[in-house]
A and B are shown apart, each in its own frame.
Chain A
Amino acid sequence: MLEADVRERLRRFILQDLMRDPQYPLADDEPLVTGGVLDSFAVAQIAVFAEHEFHVYIPDSDMTPDRMDTLEQMVQRIIRGASAP
């Protein structure tokens, strides 16, 4: 699984489906949950998106603001899940 591909697809999902603003200049390190952009329901949507798109299960315990706050953290979590045995 290519990191750049995961990043691009996840970025598109966040901008189009969660923020409903495709033109928003989303930075990789922008705090999305603690910054009030995404709520808990949006985090659940990302988890289900990761299951459908990348076949990666992210447990609820990993979906905390300190572990899944930025696009970068989400990408790394998906990559880690994909490479797990």
Chain B
Amino acid sequence: MSLTSGSFAAFLAVTLVAFYLVPRRAQNAVLLAASVAFVWTWGWLALGTLTGLTLLNYALGRALPGRPQWLAIGIALNLGALALLRPGGLAAPLLGGLSAASIGQANAGAGLLAPIGLSFYVLAAISYLVDIRQGIVDPCRNLIDFGLYLGYFPKLIAGPIERSRQFLPQLARTRTVDNEAVARSTGLIVLGLFRKLVLADSLRAWIPSEISQNPGDLPAPMLVLWIVAWMFSVYNDFAGYTDLARGVSGLFGIQLSRNFATPFYSRTFSELWTRWHISLSSWLRDYVYLPLSRAALRRDPNPRRFAAVWVPPMATLLASGLWHGATPGMLVWGALNGAYLVVERLLQLGRPTRPPDRQPPARQWAGRVMILSLTAAGLVVFLFPLPSAFAYARAILSLDPLAPMDYRLLAFVLPSVAIDWLQVRGKDDLPFLRWPRLAQATLLAVAVLVIFLITRANTVAPFVYQEF
């Protein structure tokens, strides 16, 4: 069941009615039952896999205090399940050529062992176990709450990757959903649908499917424009999903983490990684980057040493690449983005650091354009198999400025830039809620109309990140 489908809207309506009809103490059980039903739509085996992993991590969490050796076993079991069961994983041949694309189809779930969003699920489980080991959280004693921590349906498909210390306390306290919360949740849902259905899917539909096969035969300027379009499509797809998940969850009084903070307005690479897929970036920072940095600095506090400059960013971004997929392309993507961070650090070491907001506007904009361009360049190896990616890059480098350009793609890029700009200026995901009532109502009506018209013309694609 996709979050953008009519069946999900009906499912959500039924769940909301049940949630608000039952007493407070039964509300978490209603949410867990809804989450079980949500997973069940992918098939019994997917439900069995997630249930097994949930019970395993619950037991590991309870066993951890006093038995630290269980942490390594727990991490190994979770990573083993991911390596085995993820789409294209080690067990894929046994599962009949399981493909990520097939998971997105409504009736393809029966018989699948690998549930959508397994990699998000596994990272949440590992952070829970590590936090118990470090004494940051106590083991969860309530199996319903723990089941929701891992399997809460709004975040199940593609995160955000919640931390138990932020998520579990929300389940224990009385939740209030007032008019303001409903307005914010509704705003996020509409914004999410607009980003996904209008911007992301339209851009995807406009990009020819054969561009990675014979890029040398295509006009070079269009190859550049298509990559930029693809980058905005991936961003709006994932940010749209996150807005939708946060909006849906807000209707139950549970706040999910912010996952994007206008990343394409970043002026440095280190800033980019605090604004793009924030829940994954902060997970990697806490469990990979910071421990490696501290270990290197303890051995030698000189920040110019190889171990301090190279190892933490390269290891972190390679881990990020592996999380996206154990393929050569993802490793190259990770290494390339790690190298961006290394070069940036080496350049910073030789000059004073000033707050980016106080730098001259021209320098800030130059930084934004450079980050956007290099990120788009890295996307080529993220999107295509390596040989195609190299052919694509070669074709771009043979840039012919006189070749024709199809600027119609910008009709779906510029609204994305404008929405983000309003968010940057308003320092809020929903700056529209501060507009006069008439302007809000007009914007809502126009957005709903455009969503309706576009979805009649486009085919709704599965969310990109559910494939991870």
B408 within 8 A of A: no
Map CB proximity to B onto A36-75 as digits: 1 under 8 Å, 0 otherwise: 1111110111011101100000011101110000000000
Q: Is the interface of B mostly helix, strand, loop or mixed?
A: helix
Contact B357 A36 (CB under 8 A): yes
Q: Does B52 contact A (CB under 8 A)?
A: no
**CA distance in complex: A63, B349 (Å):** 22
Contact indicator B355/A35 (Cβ below 8 Å): yes
Inter-chain contacts of B387 with A (CB < 8 A): none
Q: How far is the CB of B132 from chain A (nearest CB, A)?
A: 12
**Do B285 and A40 touch (CB < 8 A)?**
yes
- Asked whether, in the complex, the Cβ of B357 is within 8 Å of the Cβ of A48, the reply is no
The interface on chain A, measured as residues whose beta carbon lies within 8 A of the other chain's beta carbons, has a size of 27
Do B294 and A37 touch (CB < 8 A)?
no
Q: Which of A19, A39, A45, A47 has the most CB of B within 10 A?
A: A39
Contact A19 B270, CB 8 Å, known A35-B357, A61-B286: no
Task: Check: B179 CB closer than 8 A to any chain A CB.
Answer: no
Q: Which of A18, A20, A51 contacts B351 (CB 8 A)?
A: A20
Out of B165, B270, B301, which one reaches A40, CB within 8 Å?
Answer: B270
Q: A36-B356, A39-B270, A48-B298 are in contact. List 20 more A-B contacts (CB 8 A).
A: A19-B354, A20-B349, A20-B352, A21-B352, A24-B354, A35-B357, A36-B268, A38-B353, A41-B270, A41-B345, A44-B289, A44-B293, A44-B294, A44-B312, A48-B294, A52-B301, A59-B134, A60-B134, A60-B287, A61-B165
The CA-CA distance from A82 to B154 in the complex, in Å, is: 42
B residues in contact (CB < 8 Å) with A: 131, 134, 136, 165, 267-268, 270-271, 274, 282, 285-287, 289-291, 293-294, 297-298, 301, 303, 308, 312, 345, 349, 351-357
Q: Which 10 A-B pairs have the closest CB atoms?
A: A44-B293, A21-B352, A39-B270, A48-B297, A36-B356, A19-B353, A60-B290, A20-B352, A61-B136, A35-B355
Least distance between B84 CB and chain A CB atoms (Å): 29
- A36→B293 contact, CB < 8 A: no
| Residues from chain B with Cβ under 8 Å of A49 in the complex | 301
Q: Check if B271 sits within 8 Å of A19, measured CB to CB.
A: no
Q: Which of A43, A44, A65 has the most CB of B within 10 A?
A: A44
Q: How far is the CA of A36 from the CA of B298 in the complex (A)?
A: 24
Some 22 contacts from A to B, beta carbons below 8 A apart, are: A24-B354, A35-B357, A36-B355, A37-B353, A37-B355, A40-B289, A40-B290, A41-B270, A41-B289, A41-B303, A43-B290, A44-B290, A44-B294, A44-B297, A45-B293, A45-B297, A47-B294, A48-B294, A49-B301, A52-B301, A61-B165, A61-B286
Residue contact A19 to B352, C-beta cutoff 8 Å: yes
A60 adjacent to B291 (CB under 8 Å): yes
Q: Cβ of B353: which chain A residues have Cβ within 8 Å of it? A: 18-21, 37-38
- Beta-carbon nearest neighbor of A31 in chain B: B355
For B312, what are the chain A residues with a Cβ–Cβ distance below 8 Å?
41, 44
The CB with the most chain A CB atoms within 10 A, among B267, B271, B301, is that of B301
